[in-house]
Chain A
């Protein structure tokens, strides 16, 4: 049955856990995932009148689009927004270590690391090296280029290619998994 436009409770009941685990796997940080998860549902509650879909699949896609927008803002700004929670007068409650551990366990973060390691192994050495230097060692692109004995433009392209390949791997798996539930 399709989710009614105003039926935020049904949307929450259906997606509360999958969405939280989706966010945990995207951030590898249970506390941040909880913050983004709460903000996503608050956003959905506030803007649900604008949702024009009729099916459960459309409502799931709409909810995950909100979540991905929250994620993008989080990675750009370094903190989870709370504007929609503030508008609903819902304040953040602290999460205890038990809850954080349970989110981490249910999200399978340990397994995710293994999967990603395997995915990384499939990248070419040049691309993997560029990702390592830029993302982990936090070197500027000029230094990445120097170490790889290539141009800065080529170094940027390798990093971009590496991250894009991994993003594709993650996206198809996690989104399909989340929306299918």
Chain B
């Protein structure tokens, strides 16, 4: 008996998974919310294929990608690579630098962050890296050491899940625009040009408001004087009420560039997986229900609102 080729194997494999998933879905089926409508788009579809022919037919993917980019509201992907170092920590020991790579695009918001796991002082080295992404209402969290992906769908592009966690630009995919906006509305103050590592930067500082409950958080952004592209940021946290704990870390930008967004580069926004990755897929409603149930089952559940009334013993 001959081994099936990769084509047939892939089709057989997907058929088996589709059949199994379909049976599970049918068991817990809800009414479908969407209706099928036929759409046009034929001319656009043909345009991409035509581009292959007219451009010589050699560059299959490139020509198609270029045509797509021209025919869709593409924009670009912002790529940033940075290294975070703890430069002052009087509460704990130091840790190894952490490297972060991030890719982001707007309209609709999409982003992916890949971080290595830093080794903490006195702890054994940690293998692998963590990745997070957001795309079309779905967050994905990937743990490479366990080869495990957690998928949560049901978020809104206007909600906080769609905002990329970053010290630069407060979670938007456009740090330069955000820093300019923060300067305009007074969130940061301009301390003028400084010399950092042999180059001229413009320093923007976000000073903390005095608070009895929260740590004092000072952020110093060093940006390109003309473009506002981030160069480095220093975050200092102090906890004056508890004890004079102080933590400071510096994020140094090592690469910052824009990549044309097309069908090929768009894959940079997706977390790569392996053939053995295990997935846990949930909706945000399921996650909230699970969290609420856990809170209600906790020993201090009486403090939590909306828990079912517990019978008094």
Contact = CB atoms under 8 A, between A and B. Distances in A.
Contacts of A65: 36, 38
Interface in A22-41: 25-29, 32, 34, 38, 41
Looking at chain B's contact residues, the main secondary structure is helix
Interface in B42-98: 42-55, 57, 60-61, 63-64, 66-72, 74
A84 B194 CA distance: 52
Given A12-B15, A66-B36, A120 B68 contact: no
Interface of B: 5-7, 10-11, 13-15, 17-19, 21-22, 24-26, 29, 32, 34-55, 57, 60-61, 63-64, 66-72, 74, 136, 138, 149, 151, 153, 261-263, 266, 272-275, 277, 279, 281
Given A8-B22, A135-B54, A26 B45 contact: yes
A128 to B, nearest CB: 9
Interface in A78-121: 78-79, 81-83, 86-96, 98-99, 102-104, 106, 109, 112-113, 116-117, 120
28 contacts: A6-B26, A12-B15, A26-B45, A27-B45, A27-B49, A34-B10, A41-B14, A49-B32, A65-B36, A75-B41, A75-B45, A75-B72, A76-B44, A77-B72, A78-B74, A83-B153, A88-B25, A89-B21, A98-B5, A99-B6, A113-B53, A135-B54, A135-B67, A136-B54, A136-B63, A163-B44, A163-B50, A167-B46
Nearest to B54: A136
A95 to B, nearest CB: 7
Given A50-B32, A102-B6, A103-B7, A90 B21 contact: yes
A135 B70 contact: yes
A171 B42 contact: yes
Interface of A: 6, 8-9, 12-13, 16-17, 20, 25-29, 32, 34, 38, 41-42, 45-47, 49-50, 62, 65-66, 68-69, 71-73, 75-79, 81-83, 86-96, 98-99, 102-104, 106, 109, 112-113, 116-117, 120, 131-132, 135-136, 138, 160, 163-164, 166-167, 170-171
Given A45-B18, A99-B7, A136 B25 contact: no
Contacts of B274: 94
B43 A116 contact: no
Contacts of A73: 39, 41
A163 B52 contact: no
B136 A120 contact: no
A88 B43 contact: no
Given A72-B41, A167-B46, A9 B15 contact: yes
B19 A8 contact: yes
Contacts of A166: 46, 50
Contacts of A138: 66-67, 69-70
A83 to B, nearest CB: 7
Interface of A is mostly: helix
Contact of A12 (B18, B25, B40, B54): B18
Contacts of A20: 11
Contacts of A91: 149, 151, 273, 277, 279, 281
Nearest to B71: A75
A17 B41 contact: no
A135 B50 CA distance: 8
A28 B45 contact: no
A94 B272 contact: yes
A90 B64 contact: no
Given A160-B43, A163-B46, A163-B47, A109 B60 contact: yes
Contact of A17 (B11, B22, B52): B11
A45 B7 contact: no
A50 B37 CA distance: 13
Contacts of B26: 6
A138 B216 CA distance: 52
A62 B19 CA distance: 19
B39 A68 contact: yes
B18 A41 contact: yes
Given A50-B32, A78-B74, A113-B57, A12 B64 contact: no
Contacts of A86: 138, 151, 153, 281
B25 A13 contact: no
Contacts of B45: 26-27, 71-72, 75, 167
Given A99-B6, A170-B46, A88 B37 contact: no
